Amino acid sequence: MVASVTAMSENSVTDGPKSRLADGLGARSGTSLGQYELVRRIGTGGMAEVYEAVHRGLKKTVAIKVLLPDVAENDDLRARFLREGEAASRIQHPHVVDVTDVGEQGGVPYLVMELLVGDPLTQIIREHRQLTLSRTLDVMLPISAALEEAHRRGVVHRDLKPDNIFIARTPSGKVVPKLLDFGVSKMTTAGIPNDTSRSSVLGTPHYMAP
């Protein structure tokens, strides 16, 4: 899913069947996770849902990504979800989605991220079919810089694709590409456990290196 979700654009709201999380935490205003009050659900995927939320004390609007209860029961998927927050927060780059907090409620973990406004690169490509060279460079140069910093920090993304690149817009109208979703990333710094076996194949086949 597009994480971040705005991390997700309003166009990416899914109107499909409600999950158990939607029934429990709800896509309703007023439900709380820690210090955050959920405002509305803005995206959903196979592993998690994303909500717009407000910190009750700071009145700051954020995006909260919550692992689905059924997924949270799987130790491996739960570890990957938490690693997403650790990897993104470790990089601290203007073109990587900012993860600011992590928590758990009712046995279900969640990540708190900056709320982005814009569209996933997938949607932009779908609408325009082919981007100009100039526009392509405006996206790929910042994302390449983000990847370079990630590698310098010992993080390998392993699932780079249009779905995981978000074209955010600031209030002033500036376009800021953001790299999302470090759920299958690998942290290579000494002392950090590596949960991936040598035989594991991770990522999206169409976008994987040969």
Which residues, 6+ apart, have CB-to-CB distance to 122 below 8 Å? Answer: 2, 162, 163
Would you give the DSSP letter of residue 154? T
Q: Active-site residue 119, yes or no?
A: no
Amino acid (one-letter) located at 45: G
What's the rounded Cα separation, in Å, for the pair 139 and 143?
6
Q: Is 144 helix (H, G, I), strand (E, B) or coil?
A: helix
R_g over Cα of the chain = 17
| Active-site choice (119, 159, 163, 181) | 159
Which residues, 6+ apart, have CB-to-CB distance to 108 below 8 Å? Answer: 21, 66, 67, 68, 69, 72
Residues annotated as catalytic (active site), given as ranges: 159
